[in-house]
């Protein structure tokens, strides 16, 4: 079986940016457009959304199975543990792809690294710095700075 990186490289290479669904939300007042995503980042965004959707589709089924196992008070079978392990790994992979995507966005748009209120994607694949919230607080690298 190919490694995670090999599979990810193949998925990104195979993704057709012309088939990647655009975002619906328009740029809002107070948001600043930093630029437009490259074709490669559109591909990675598509792969991320595909992984998230596939994982979400399995969530209810897996969680229901694990609830039944827990309520039965029996030791989970090897099959049940395999299903749980695979499901948790799906979440880990989706989270890793998301981290890679946002790190890549910030590398392509360095101004996004220190955006006080975060960044987002808008219609036309525009990367924006989000408008300030009511408090005027900043969040940089997980540090909350009061406004």
Q: What is the pLDDT of residues 55-64, one digit of tens each?
A: 988 888 888 8
d(CA 107, CA 75): 47
Mean pLDDT on 13-27:
85
**Residue 133, pLDDT above cutoff 70:** no
* Token pair recorded at residue 109: 């748009």
At 135 the pLDDT is 44
* Token pair recorded at residue 37: 């995503």
d(CA 147, CA 59): 39
CA-based torsion, 9, 15, 21, 23: positive or negative? positive
At 147 the pLDDT is 47
**Residue 95, pLDDT above cutoff 90:** yes
Give the percent of the chain with pLDDT over 70. Answer: 90
**Residue 140, pLDDT above cutoff 60:** no
Angle subtended at Cα 77 by Cα 75 and Cα 82, rounded to the nearest 5 degrees: 125
**Which residues are CB-contacts of 11 (< 8 A; sequence separation ≥ 6)?**
47, 50
Arithmetic mean of pLDDT over the chain: 85
**Residue 20, pLDDT above cutoff 80:** no
d(CA 147, CA 142): 15
At 83 the pLDDT is 86
d(CA 119, CA 85): 32
**Choice among 6-15, 54-63, 126-135 with the minimum mean pLDDT:** 126-135
């Amino acid at each position: 079986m190919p490694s995670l990186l090999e599979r990810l490289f193949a998925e990104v290479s195979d993704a057709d940016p012309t088939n990647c669904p655009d975002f619906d939300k328009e740029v809002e007042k107070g948001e600043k457009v930093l630029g437009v995503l490259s074709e490669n980042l559109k591909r990675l965004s598509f792969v991320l959304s595909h992984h998230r959707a596939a994982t979400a589709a399995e969530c209810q089924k897996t969680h229901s199975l694990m609830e039944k196992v827990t309520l039965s008070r029996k030791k989970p079978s090897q099959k049940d543990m395999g299903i749980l392990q695979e499901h948790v790994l799906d979440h880990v992979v989706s989270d890793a792809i998301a981290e890679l995507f946002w790190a890549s966005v910030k590398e392509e748009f360095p101004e996004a690294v220190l955006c006080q209120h975060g960044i987002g994607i808008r219609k036309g694949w525009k990367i924006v710095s989000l408008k300030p919230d009511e408090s005027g607080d900043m969040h940089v690298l997980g540090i909350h700075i009061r406004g």
